[in-house]
Amino acid sequence: MGRFATTVDLYEQFRPPYPPAFFREVAQRLALTKQHALIDIGTGPGLLALGFADYVGRIVAVDPEPNMLAAARQAAKQAGRDVTLVEGRAEDLPESIGRFDLVTIGRALHWLDESTLGPLFERLVAPGGVVAICASSSVTDGRNAWLEEYTAARRHWSNKELWSESRSGQRVHRELSSLLQGTTFQATEEIRVESVKQTSVADLAQRMLTFSSSSPAVLGAKVEPMLRDVEARLMPMSRDGVLTEFVVSTAEIARRR
Backbone angles phi, psi at 90, to 5 degrees: -60, -35
pLDDT of the residue at 123: 94
One-letter amino acid of 242: V
Give the separation between CA 62 and CA 89, rounded to whole angstroms: 7
41: buried, middle or exposed (CB in 10 Å: 19+, 13-18, 0-12)? Answer: buried
Give the separation between CA 11 and CA 200, rounded to whole angstroms: 16
pLDDT of the residue at 53: 97
pLDDT tens for each residue of the chain, 257 residues long: 444 545 555 666 777 789 999 999 999 999 999 999 999 999 989 999 999 999 999 999 999 989 889 999 999 999 999 999 999 999 899 999 999 999 999 977 777 877 888 899 999 999 999 999 999 999 999 999 999 999 999 999 998 876 665 554 455 555 788 888 888 999 999 999 999 999 999 999 999 998 888 988 899 999 999 999 999 999 999 999 999 999 999 999 999 99
Give the separation between CA 216 and CA 3, rounded to whole angstroms: 10
pLDDT of the residue at 112: 80
| Residue-range domains of the chain with CATH | 5-256 (3.40.50.150)
pLDDT of the residue at 51: 96
R_g of the chain computed on alpha carbons? 18
pLDDT of the residue at 1: 44
pLDDT of the residue at 194: 97
pLDDT of the residue at 178: 80
pLDDT of the residue at 244: 98
Backbone angles phi, psi at 14, to 5 degrees: -115, -15
Angle formed by the axes of helices 147-157 and 223-234, nearest 10°: 160
